[in-house]
């Protein structure tokens, strides 16, 4: 009779659960976005009637009422890095009430072949302060589950589920070692991705000191070039002067995507270090604004400008003064320019007019 009552109550409140899923997913997305975190995905689901019936029929489960079931509504947050699982968890623990008795940190499993279960499951409900809001008051006392795992943990769990083995005992003996090796490889990969992320962060932190003391020793890469064009006072002064001649004088911080082409240009010109780039700037700096005036008079314009725009004109001038046709085309093909040969001709013509 209890099972029938539970299903009957679910039928009455299914719309509330679906609303809870939608509202809470939007809230989770907003909370994570406000922390400037990049994650792979947030997915959600509300149990269907048949799934709920199967759950309450299990012999090892006993429920007196519908609200005793804590995962009718569930969310899965998949992060790129294992460290972000804990960051997300702290956000959730701050914003929601946690049910510690029904929450579980499956990452603490020690068996090497349990990698797929190394996720954090938090059973939550909305706090009283939020439940006072009209749009949330209908969710009082309704619990939901949030699973948080890295993308590699998620991949292992999905593949393991597809294969069909839920425990080590179910795996044929001849495959157990291979399962264990693969689980270890994925766990190591998870740790290495996190280590790489930390290494990039540490490298970024070291750039101010390295560029200040020994720019000749700093190889041009996406990180060093982005930092250099965003912070070098000489480039800032030059590009602020350049802005006067553009139709849309808004100078944003350089983003890595916009710096990528410039990096390839510089490498193809044999400029490999920040020190070499500084010398090249000193060589052509006086010509950049005059060249820009001529160039823009030919109806070349840009609606969106970012720091590092001078790198493009440095390249143009360097090619006009040092490159032959073949070399210039080789350099400019690093970007998706159309009619590279025509572009080289325009660059040379503009150079002759300054």
Over residues 302-331, mean pLDDT: 86
The model's confidence at residue 117, banded by pLDDT at 50, 70 and 90, is: low
Contact 122, 92 (CB under 8 A): yes
* Cα 351 from Cα 292, distance rounded (Å): 10
Least Cα distance to 119 among 87, 157, 92 occurs for 157
Q: Which tokens belong to 156?
A: 């292992």
Fold of 2-184: Beta Polymerase; domain 2 (3.30.460)
Least Cα distance to 77 among 107, 37, 25, 41 occurs for 41
Contact 271, 218 (CB under 8 A): no
* Cα 315 from Cα 277, distance rounded (Å): 11
Contact 235, 215 (CB under 8 A): no
* Residues 6+ away with beta carbon under 8 Å from 84: 37, 39, 150
The model's confidence at residue 97, banded by pLDDT at 50, 70 and 90, is: very high
Over residues 312-323, mean pLDDT: 91
- Over the stretch 127-170, which tens digit does the pLDDT of each residue have? 999 999 999 999 999 999 999 999 998 888 887 777 766 666 67
Rg of the chain, C-alpha, whole Å: 29
pLDDT higher than 70, residue 330 = yes
Over residues 50-57, mean pLDDT: 88
Q: Quote the pLDDT of residue 300.
A: 62
Over residues 181-205, mean pLDDT: 92
Least Cα distance to 168 among 121, 104, 110, 108 occurs for 110
Strand 305-306 versus strand 251-252 pairing type: parallel
pLDDT higher than 80, residue 29 = yes
Dihedral pair phi/psi, residue 150, rounded to 5°: -75, 165
Task: Specify the DSSP class assigned to residue 308.
Answer: T
- 338 or 263: which leads in pLDDT: 263
Contact 125, 144 (CB under 8 A): yes
Least Cα distance to 43 among 15, 87, 79 occurs for 79
pLDDT higher than 60, residue 1 = no
Over residues 32-49, mean pLDDT: 96
Least Cα distance to 291 among 279, 300, 282 occurs for 300
Within the chain, all domains assigned CATH 3.30.460.10 are found at 2-184
Q: Quote the pLDDT of residue 239.
A: 93
Q: What percent of the chain has pLDDT over 70?
A: 92
Q: Quote the pLDDT of residue 172.
A: 80
* Residues 6+ away with beta carbon under 8 Å from 264: 334, 335
pLDDT higher than 90, residue 333 = no
Over residues 57-80, mean pLDDT: 91
Task: Specify the DSSP class assigned to residue 214.
Answer: -
Contact 89, 148 (CB under 8 A): yes
Q: What is the mean pLDDT of the chain?
A: 89
Q: Quote the pLDDT of residue 301.
A: 60
At residue 219, the 3 state secondary structure works out as strand
């Amino acid at each position: 009779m209890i099972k029938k009552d539970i299903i009957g109550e679910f039928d009455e409140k299914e719309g509330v659960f679906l609303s809870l899923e939608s509202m809470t997913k939007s809230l989770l997305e907003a909370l994570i976005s406000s922390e400037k975190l990049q994650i792979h995905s947030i997915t959600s689901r509300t149990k269907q009637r048949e799934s709920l019936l199967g759950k309450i029929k299990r012999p090892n489960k006993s429920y007196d009422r519908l609200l005793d079931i804590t995962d009718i509504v569930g969310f899965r947050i998949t992060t790129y890095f294992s460290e972000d699982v804990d960051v997300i968890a702290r956000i959730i623990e701050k914003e929601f009430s946690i049910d510690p008795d029904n929450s579980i940190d499956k990452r603490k499993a020690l068996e090497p072949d349990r990698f797929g279960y190394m996720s954090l499951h938090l059973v939550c409900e909305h706090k009283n302060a939020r439940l006072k809001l009209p749009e949330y008051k209908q969710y009082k006392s309704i619990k939901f589950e949030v699973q948080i795992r890295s993308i590699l943990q998620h991949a292992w769990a999905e593949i393991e589920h597809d294969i069909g083995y839920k425990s080590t005992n179910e795996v044929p003996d001849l495959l157990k070692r291979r399962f264990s090796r693969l689980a270890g490889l994925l766990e190591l990969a998870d740790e290495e991705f996190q280590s790489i992320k930390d290494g990039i962060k540490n490298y970024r932190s070291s750039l101010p000191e390295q560029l200040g003391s020994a720019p000749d020793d700093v190889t041009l890469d996406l990180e060093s070039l982005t930092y250099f064009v965003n912070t070098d006072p000489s480039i800032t002064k030059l590009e602020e002067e350049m802005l006067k001649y553009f139709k849309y004088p808004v100078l944003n911080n350089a983003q890595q995507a916009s710096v990528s082409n410039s990096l390839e240009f510089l490498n193809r010109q044999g400029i490999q270090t920040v020190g070499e780039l500084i010398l090249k700037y000193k060589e052509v700096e006086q010509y950049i604004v005059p060249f820009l005036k001529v160039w823009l008079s030919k109806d070349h314009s840009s609606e969106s400008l970012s720091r590092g725009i001078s790198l493009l004109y440095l390249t143009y001038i360097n090619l006009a003064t040092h490159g032959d046709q073949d070399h210039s085309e080789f350099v400019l093909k690093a970007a998706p320019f159309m009619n590279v040969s025509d572009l080289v001709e325009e660059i040379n013509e503009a150079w002759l007019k300054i």
